[in-house]
Amino acid sequence: MIAAYYEALFVLSVLFSLVYALMWNKHFDIHFTLIFIFVPISVLGYFLFVNAKDAGAALAANKVIYIGGCFLMLFIMLNVFELCRIKLNSFLQALFMVVSLVVYMSVLTIDKSTVFYKEFKFKQVGDIGVLYDKEYGPMHTAFIVMVLTYFMLSVSAVVYAFFKKKDVSRHLIYLLFLPEITAVACYIFNRFVNLRIDLQPAVYTFAQFVYLIIAKRVCLYDIDDSVVDSLVQNGDTGIISIDFTYNYLGCNKTAKKFFPALEKLTVDKPIDQDPEVNEPIMKWLSDFTNDESKNKFYYNKDDSIYLINLRYLYNGEDIRGYQFVITDDTKNQKYIELIDRYNTDLRREIAEKTNYIIDMSNNLVMGLAMIVESRDNSTGGHIKRTRQAVRLLTLEMMKDKAFGLSDEYYRDIIKAAPMHDLGKIAVDDAVLRKPGKFTDEEYNKMKVHAAEGARIVHSIMQGNDDTEFAVIAENMAHYHHERWDGSGYPDGLKGDEIPVEARIMALADVYDALVSKRVYKEKMSFAQADKIILESMGKHFDRNLEKYYIQAKPRLENYYSHLDDDEN
């Protein structure tokens, strides 16, 4: 009956180990596997011991039993630390292994020395072999200390994980605690109840059962491994691996579905065996090795668009090659293409509407300026001419980036030029249309057009998103009659106090007045106008504009020479 107990435990432990072998996963910790190897060996020792017919056989079986005592408790402890996510120093792990080996080596000398057993006797009670009157040596004491140390460390790790480790499953902790509690209970029971059987092999076998349950769940808690397995198995992600010498290492079924040419490749052979695979892969590798940020590529094939993520292939912490992770991105890319096409159409429509509004706004402003001009005593065309004069001046200034202004800024100056005299709408006709020279009172009335022009432009531009243009237009209307020496109006600004755009407008405005015919005067020759302009540099005009005026002068004269008399 007693022999049958040990025999049943041995058969059960072997079955548990076979079940473990069937459910084995490469991500299982090595100590898991060692537990399922050593438990049947240790239980077999108990079975052999009770069936021993003499002292030699009993001692041999006893040595097998102590395999469990010396190593199983170590493997269980290391496995507990691993499952509780507690990092155990590598030196300590090696030290524990050495201690277990030394203790077990002393066990092997039972029949040759007194370091483990000083004395013992063997007898058979019925059909069962028994060792009795045992006197233990110092190494047996070391064995007890070692086992208690492993046990206490295991319990401590479980308790610590329960209270401190939020990333460890509570179900797992309960399962880990169960064999420890069972071992203590069986030890106490054996001490106080005289049984003819040893409960230790039953504890080992029960631990196996618990660890089968743990093994079933443990991979679920390893997010990195479970994600990798899911990616590989779910059929949506293809994976290709090659080493640093561009030898093909393998791929999964999904990769072969995406790229049937992979079926032709031989493992450990260069990938250039098939041009269909070699050409894109080598191009991606070249880009990646030159710049690791270039790790995403798109590959079009058979109306499908594949997203290729290229990264290093790791084996533990070592980089061993390259890995291509491939996903079918067709739906996503077609959706993006649809959105891009929609956005392009929308941007085009917005641009068309915006340009239409801008053109309408410009035409309204130009119409307003022409209405004002029709009340003036000029022969007409002043707005058009001064705008062209401003354009020719600013084109020269743009060549050497004068005043540090952008090309866009100069274009805004040209666009705002027609608005410079809008304030004349507020001047009385009797003054505005007077054919002769103004009296002081009339001149003072005329001068209000500058400030009024700024007010009108500000009102028109209020709410305009292009705030820079609005400021430029307002400045040109407000200050185009200011003089470099401070003798101008309306505010008597001097030098750099006058905005650049107003200085340019002033020069174009005076030049047009000189070379154009008015009802009260004839047009002046280009030579006469040039002399007046140059003499006014540093007084009326900014001397910094002189070189640009000189550079623009041939084009100015050519432009004014080809105007009809009605325009000039």
Domain at 171, CATH number: 1.20.1070.10
> Is residue 236 domain-shared with residue 282, that is, in the same domain?
yes
Q: Is residue 342 part of a domain?
A: no
Picking from 280, 299, 328, the residue at the C-terminal end of a domain is 328
Contact status, residue 15 vs residue 39, Cβ threshold 8 Å: no
Q: Count how many Cα atoms sit within 13 Å of the Cα of residue 345 in the half-sphere of its side chain.
A: 5
> Would 65 be classed as within a structural domain?
yes
Domain boundary among 219, 236, 255: 219
For tokens 């080596």, the residue is: 105
405 or 461, higher pLDDT:
405
Do the domain assignments include residue 401? yes
Range of lowest pLDDT (141-145, 243-247, 366-370, 492-496): 366-370
My answer on whether 237 and 212 are in the same domain is no
Q: What is the pLDDT of residue 220?
A: 47
Which helix (H) or strand (E) is 325 found in, with range?
strand 318-328
Q: Which residue has the higher pLDDT, 129 or 281?
A: 281
The whole-number pLDDT of residue 133 equals 63
Confidence of residue 224 (pLDDT cuts 50, 70, 90): very low
Residues 306 and 370 in one domain: no
User: Is the pTM here over 0.75, yes or no?
Assistant: no
Across 17-31, 367-381, 524-538, least confident range: 367-381
pLDDT at 316 over 70: no
Q: Are residues 243 and 191 in the same domain?
A: no
The percent of residues above 70 in pLDDT, for the chain, comes to 85
Q: Residue 275 CB: number of other CB atoms within 10 A?
A: 9
The reply to whether 260 and 400 lie within a common domain is: no
The predicted structure's pLDDT at residue 463: 67
Which region among 64-68, 120-124, 534-538, 541-545 has the lowest average model confidence (pLDDT)? 120-124
Residue 52 lies in a domain: yes
CA 381/CA 565 separation, integer angstroms: 10
Residue 507 resides in a domain = yes
Mean per-residue pLDDT, 519-542? 89
Q: Residue 471 burial by CB count (10 A; 0-12/13-18/19+): exposed, middle or buried?
A: middle
Q: Please give the tally of structural domains in the chain.
A: 3
518 & 369 share domain: yes
Summarize pLDDT for 200-212 with one digit per residue, the tens: 888 888 888 888 8
252 and 147, same structural domain? no
**Which tokens is 255 given?**
């990769």
Residue 427, token pair as written in the block: 């001047």
What b-and-e string marks burial along 384-407, b requiring 16 or more CB atoms within 10 Å of the CB?
bbbbbbbbbbbebbbeeebeebee
- Based on the domain organization, do 283 and 381 belong to the same domain? no
Q: What contacts 88, CB < 8 A, 6 or more positions away?
A: 78, 81
Furthest C-alpha separation in the chain:
149
Residue range(s) defining the domain that contains residue 151: 2-219
Query: Does residue 109 share a domain with residue 34?
Result: yes
Q: From residue 340, how far is each of 344, 351, 355 by CA, in Å? A: 6, 16, 22
For residue 306, pLDDT over 90 is answered with no
Residues 212 and 252 in one domain: no
Cα 363 to Cα 357, 358, 366, 374, 504: the distances in Å are 10, 8, 5, 16, 23
- Residue 548: CATH number of its domain: 1.10.3210.10
Which pLDDT does position 132 carry in this prediction? Answer: 58
Does residue 454 sit within a domain?
yes
Mean pLDDT within 558-566: 78
Positive/negative CA dihedral, 246, 247, 250, 254: positive
541, 428: one domain: yes
Say how far apart CA 519 and CA 381 lie, in whole Å. 13
Q: Which DSSP symbol is given to 491?
A: S
Question: Are 204 and 321 found together in one domain?
Answer: no
State which of 185, 219, 253 marks the end of a domain.
219
* Cβ 240 vs Cβ 251: under 8 Å: yes
Is pLDDT larger for residue 410 or for residue 264? 410
Q: Is residue 48 part of a domain?
A: yes
Q: Classify residue 344: in a domain, yes or no.
A: no
b/e 194-208 (16+ beta carbons within 10 angstroms → b): eeebbbbbbbbbbbb
Domain of 280, CATH number, reads: 3.30.450.20
* 336-340, 415-419, 506-510: the lowest-pLDDT one: 336-340
Q: Which two tokens stand for residue 86?
A: 């507690």
Q: Which helix (H) or strand (E) holds 83?
A: helix 73-83
